[in-house]
């Protein structure tokens, strides 16, 4: 399997490597919350961590294991944990690895809820510096004696800033900081954050990994690159574990088990099925996005197109160096005389909906919806104009997508 291509591995690994029962092609999706053992000694050994096994599905179950195995392989990590949502993966990981008095550096362009959660961390005594991560210098300047971790997204939403991924990775290695990368926008077929030195890779499985908009989920993968023996936040009781197991075990025991943001087995199965077509969908939606971006960039009613695949994008070079393709998130500013609400209402095939990474193309005006709560001042800092519309480009046929945009623009 090791030397096979991305999709070959993905569609056959379950069957060949983990051998489901009765010749089943998929791992069984089991909804049982509890697991019984003939001899109580077996259950005791599981509780005491002497052997592996399932006891109660808040902390593990076979369907969850199957998805975790896939995610670990896709990110080439040493282990992973899945959660009920992407936010559960992010919050659970940070809340269990950090403590009051710590300082972290977070991209100022992060996802709205991650940004909001940074405020929660501050209330708990963990200080946060929000910096422009398109240049490693800003990250370096924010480092303090108590800095523990740097959190970035690969391509930010909605303005599509690309983090200075490789240089930040080198800086984190030099300073022994945990480098945590949210890889939601550029899932494994496009980019493996391990290649730029990430210690932990988090993602919302709800988006591209599932792709079908029928299940929420999140994941954190330990890449094995970080030496957790140097990290002060690991509990004494876990120091006896092999170094590469320390962080994930802490996130599992103190986070998943205590806080309970567990993924349902049904959702895990739905996400695993979605993942099989990840590469095909990414090829198609990224191709569509590039074609559409090129079309919109020359349109007289469009003021600006934000898409890393365009040569004029400020981080186009960074994106070309890191990603196989440029993703499928794009935003535009219409010229000020045109109304963004009227435009999206004229789109016939494109859906007015939040969410991204779906098979269908979606549109949403940004300032009035997903970034409304943070207020005008923060929006300005994030580069979000009042007339901005964000699109998540789907896998429809390219000509149909462009035709829909064309007719909607004509009507303005």
Query: Which residue, 147 or 157, is less far from ligand PLP as judged by CB?
Result: 157
Q: Which has the closest alpha carbon to 126: 143, 104, 109?
A: 104
Cα 307 from Cα 302, distance rounded (Å): 13
Query: Which residue, 87 or 201, is less far from ligand PLP as judged by CB?
Result: 87
Question: Strands, E, within 193-301: which ranges?
Answer: 200-204, 218-222
Smallest gap from Cβ 223 to ligand PLP, in A, equals: 18
Q: Which has the closest alpha carbon to 203: 359, 71, 94?
A: 71
Smallest gap from Cβ 301 to ligand PLP, in A, equals: 28
Query: Which residue, 107 or 246, is less far from ligand PLP as judged by CB?
Result: 107
Query: Which residue, 46 or 87, is less far from ligand PLP as judged by CB?
Result: 87
Tokens 């800086």 belong to residue: 171
Q: Which residue is nearest to ligand PLP (CB)?
A: 86
Cα 217 from Cα 83, distance rounded (Å): 6
User: Hey, what long-range contacts does 211-215 have (CB within 8 A, 24 or more apart)?
Assistant: 211/274, 211/275, 211/277, 211/278, 211/281, 211/357, 211/358, 211/359, 212/270, 212/274, 212/358, 212/359, 213/355, 213/358, 213/359, 213/360, 214/270, 215/266, 215/267, 215/270, 215/271, 215/274
Smallest gap from Cβ 152 to ligand PLP, in A, equals: 10
How many residues can be counted in the chain? 412
Helix axes 62-74, 6-18, angle to 10 degrees: 140
Smallest gap from Cβ 17 to ligand PLP, in A, equals: 27
Smallest gap from Cβ 337 to ligand PLP, in A, equals: 31
For residue 152, what are its two tokens? 């970035």
Smallest gap from Cβ 153 to ligand PLP, in A, equals: 5
Query: Which residue, 69 or 203, is less far from ligand PLP as judged by CB?
Result: 203
What SS3 state is found at 270? helix
Cα 101 from Cα 99, distance rounded (Å): 6
Query: Which residue, 148 or 207, is less far from ligand PLP as judged by CB?
Result: 207
Tokens 């007719």 belong to residue: 407
Residues in touch with ligand PLP (CB under 6 A): 85-87, 111, 114, 153, 157, 182, 184-185, 204, 206-207, 216, 218
Smallest gap from Cβ 208 to ligand PLP, in A, equals: 9
Query: Which residue, 74 or 185, is less far from ligand PLP as judged by CB?
Result: 185
């Amino acid at each position: 399997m090791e030397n096979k291509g991305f999709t070959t591995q993905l569609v056959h690994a379950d069957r060949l490597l983990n051998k489901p029962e009765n010749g089943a092609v998929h791992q069984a999706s089991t909804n049982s919350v509890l697991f019984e053992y003939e001899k109580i000694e077996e259950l005791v050994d599981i509780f005491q961590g002497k052997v592996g096994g399932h006891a109660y599905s808040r902390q593990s179950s076979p369907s969850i294991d199957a998805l975790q195995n896939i995610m670990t392989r896709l990110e080439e990590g040493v282990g992973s944990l899945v959660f009920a949502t992407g936010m559960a993966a992010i919050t659970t990981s940070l809340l269990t690895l950090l403590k009051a008095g710590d300082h972290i550096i977070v991209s100022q362009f992060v996802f709205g809820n991650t940004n909001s959660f940074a405020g929660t961390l501050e209330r708990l005594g963990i200080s946060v510096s929000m910096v422009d991560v398109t240049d490693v210098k800003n990250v370096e300047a924010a480092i303090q004696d108590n800095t523990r971790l740097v959190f970035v997204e690969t391509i930010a939403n909605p303005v599509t800033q690309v983090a200075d991924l490789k240089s930040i990775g080198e800086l984190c290695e030099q300073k022994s900081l945990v480098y945590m990368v949210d890889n939601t926008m550029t899932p494994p077929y496009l980019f493996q954050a391990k290649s730029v030195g990430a210690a932990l890779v988090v993602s919302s499985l709800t988006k591209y990994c599932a792709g079908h908009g029928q299940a929420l989920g999140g994941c954190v993968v330990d890449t094995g690159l970080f030496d957790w023996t140097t990290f002060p936040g690991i509990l004494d009781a876990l120091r006896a574990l092999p170094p590469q197991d320390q962080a994930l075990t802490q996130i599992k025991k103190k986070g998943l088990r205590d806080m309970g943001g567990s993924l349902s087995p049904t959702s895990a199965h739905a996400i695993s099925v979605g993942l099989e077509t990840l590469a095909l969908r990414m090829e198609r939606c990224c191709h569509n996005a590039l074609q559409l971006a090129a079309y919109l960039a020359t349109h007289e009613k469009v003021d600006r197109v934000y898409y890393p695949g365009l040569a004029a994008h400020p981080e186009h070079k960074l994106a070309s160096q890191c990603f196989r393709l440029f993703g499928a998130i794009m935003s535009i500013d219409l010229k000020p005389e045109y109304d963004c609400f009227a435009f999206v209402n004229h789109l016939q095939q494109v859906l007015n909906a939040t969410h991204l990474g779906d098979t269908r193309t979606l549109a949403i005006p940004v300032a009035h919806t997903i970034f409304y709560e943070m207020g005008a001042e923060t929006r300005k800092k994030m580069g979000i104009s009042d007339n901005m519309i964000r699109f998540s480009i789907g896998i429809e046929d390219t000509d149909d997508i462009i035709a829909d945009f064309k007719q909607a623009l004509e009507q303005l």
